Amino acid sequence: MPSFIPQGGPLRAGITLILGLCTLYILCVTARAQMHQQPLFGHPPTTPISDNRTYSVSFHLASSYGAAAVIISGDSEPDANLQTYTFTTAGSDTYKSTMSRLSLHSSEHLAPPYDSMQDYFDDVPRALARRALKRVGLPSSGDVGSLSTVIVSLVEQIRSALNITVADAVITSTHLHALYQDDLYDIAQYARFQYVEPKRLYQPMLWETGAACAGHGLNLCRDFRNTTACYDEDRTTPVINVLEVHYSATALTSSIARMYGPTSAFEDDTRRVEDFKLGGDARAGYKGGDEQYWSNVKEVIIRRMLEYQATGRPDLVILTGDENVDNDKFRAVLDDALKEIMGPFAPPPWVLDDDAMVIAAKGAAELRRRGVRVPKDN
């Protein structure tokens, strides 16, 4: 392809210097983050996987950790004797700070898919710089370098425990304003597997809410190999309001999503809150004390439902996150928040909290098993 970089003169030297400094920064970030990766737990099988079995892999970029799930099918029947294995790894300080920064509107930038041709041309310098770094085997950006450390760690766990090489995978994430599809594509490329999307994915990204719904088996087509039957089933399946609350050491997020299906979740800015200052670790020394901390936690959980009455009440609640989800005080505050939003006479919504740490990864792996499409390289 034609080059947009001049072939000589001081401008070329300046651009070369800038790319060199960027490369050095990314190398430092990646190396530092990888030094702090620590596996949390995994459930490996006792024997290697036989060659005639199939496996579906997914990864979850959570607020303070990464998770992976692998679904292995039976030898003869693809839907029989399914086995699911999960893995997690702790995020480094660099990973956590990157996730926090990407949750901010101020971190947003142009990225595909573009709204106009002008956006495409305005983004050419950034895209060219990313491609140059990828050509020499480096992460395409500092953010990609930071986030890929947990994925690389999980890929190695899967290889070691299951004796398989990850060929492709679906990636889901905590909802972040400044995480884009080309970031996920480049993370997968750096970790040496192909990034794929679930079939019929409505948005460019599979966010945590939809993946967690799939993990609990909600609104999944029963016979996913029969496209006609799935479309018929979609028309008769009731749309549900799902309140997904993610609580970890570093963050509290709340999303009241309109769920048409796991790949068709509607959760725009009027339905979500991401707060990386209300994680469980923030309790110690919180300004205003413990009482103020829990008051703010309650406010974040129900903020969008109070601000926008049209969002409606939740039909059910899904919890994701690390061990903080099981904190007794958090659960009491959640119950109090639900009582306030539901009113004194309405029954409380059903709360799904099984496998909170890996449920989104499990759901994404199930969607991978049901068929994928390959997005175009950006």
- Number of Cβ atoms within 10 Å of the Cβ of 46: 4
Which superfamily does 226-352 belong to? ATPase, nucleotide binding domain (3.30.420.40)
Dihedral of alpha carbons 309, 311, 312, 313, sign: negative
Query: What confidence score (pLDDT) does residue 378 get?
Result: 53
State the Cα–Cα distance between residues 227 and 215, nearest whole angstrom.
21
Residues of the chain with CATH 3.30.420.40: 226-352
Q: What is the mean pLDDT of each run of 10 residues along the chain (378 residues)?
A: 40 52 49 40 39 85 98 72 94 98 96 93 96 96 97 97 94 95 96 90 84 93 85 85 97 94 85 96 94 97 92 94 97 97 91 97 94 69
Return the structure tokens found at 326: 């099981």
Return the structure tokens found at 364: 């994404």
Contact 89, 150 (CB under 8 A): yes
Query: What confidence score (pLDDT) does residue 48 get?
Result: 42
